[in-house]
A and B are shown apart, each in its own frame.
Chain A
Amino acid sequence: MPRQSPVPETVDREFFAAANRGRLVVQYCGRCDRWQYPPTTRCPVCDGAESFLWREVEGRGTVYSFAVVHDTQIASLRADLPYTVVVVSLDECPGVLMLSHLPGAADVAIGQAVRPRFAVTEATGQRVPEWEPLS
């Protein structure tokens, strides 16, 4: 489904570069043993930068919750109403949630297992991670 193209910035360039290669990376602080998303420049807990690194993950997750959007202020999403926005809890990264789009009023449930795939966004061709139900 159509959506806005994210413009990579310093803080998340690695994230979007990995997505263009079909990979999911998440920041991890070795000192705190803590995963971080959204991207930040330093670990928000210990303020460290040296041990705060991008790590590749497989990206399987679980549906934390979701809502079916019937009206949106985002012009590029208006073409495809309704759509479902899922909050995905990443199995390998405790505490990390990512948002994903599914077309229509998707047949999805809280607790359902999901896996990542990479979708191309229209404006710039930037790929982004999205998740789809496993079964």
Chain B
Amino acid sequence: MSKGEIVMGALAPHPPHLVYAENPPQNDATSEGGWEELRWGYERLRESLSDRDYDVIIVHTPHWATFIGTHFLGVESFKSLSVDPIFPNLFRYNYDLNVDVELSRAIHDNAADSGLLVKMMENPDFRIDYGTITSCHLVNPKWDKPIVCISSNRSKFYFNSEVMQANMIKLGEATRKAIEASGKKALLLSSNSLSHRHFTVEPEVPEDMSKEHVTNHNQYLWDMKMINLMRDGKTKEMIDLMPDFTEQTVAETEAGCLTWLMSALGFPDYKATVHAYGTVIGTGNAIVGWDPRKAKI
């Protein structure tokens, strides 16, 4: 068996608005569009993946929050309805997905070996979180690949960002080792926004783009700081800045997804491709790809 590899890592945020705006048949809500810059960014990310062969999507999600260790989906398939608890008017999505339980368990076991507390989720009635569904839909709307879904341990709340990051760096390494040993080709998704201060009101027409902008300039400046570090291939510096960034912009990086992704990719020093930056109800969202082929050049 040849060695497995990560074919690409991506920052793939999950505002349900982006699915809503596309009117896929799975979603019960209908829209007149909206957030095109981000949706076209997802189109460019999909385009960049079109010549890449991969077996599985591994997603780390803020919206499956766990406090007792990190959890992994451990059931072969799930089919149900996902209703967003914050934006139920926009996202009521009928999902039908498969899980690569073998790889899920392999990452679980590797993480346990590195000292992390881990747990398999084996209840077939479990409902998949809308973050996972949104990111996976936008990256692969055909849903023709199995997924591995990893919960976000909330050690940031119980301890601090530094503890969270230390754990996510271990989890990223465990993920990479498991992929390599599996012989599989994997696409990794960090399912999170950057700055995350929402508006507390919604326009009457949610897709009214005359109302969309970043919540404040502070958030914009911080988002650009982080994105420029990605563009410059300075991901270690980005991770070092992460606790301050997270604190200052109440960023969704608090969930650890992006730290996990950078660790799994071995802290890329090559340039990331920024496919888009845009705001959704005031939060900052970037769609970014890291292609490990660039490291080999």
Same complex: no
Q: Which residues of B contact A (CB under 8 A)?
A: none
Q: Which residues of A contact B (CB under 8 A)?
A: none
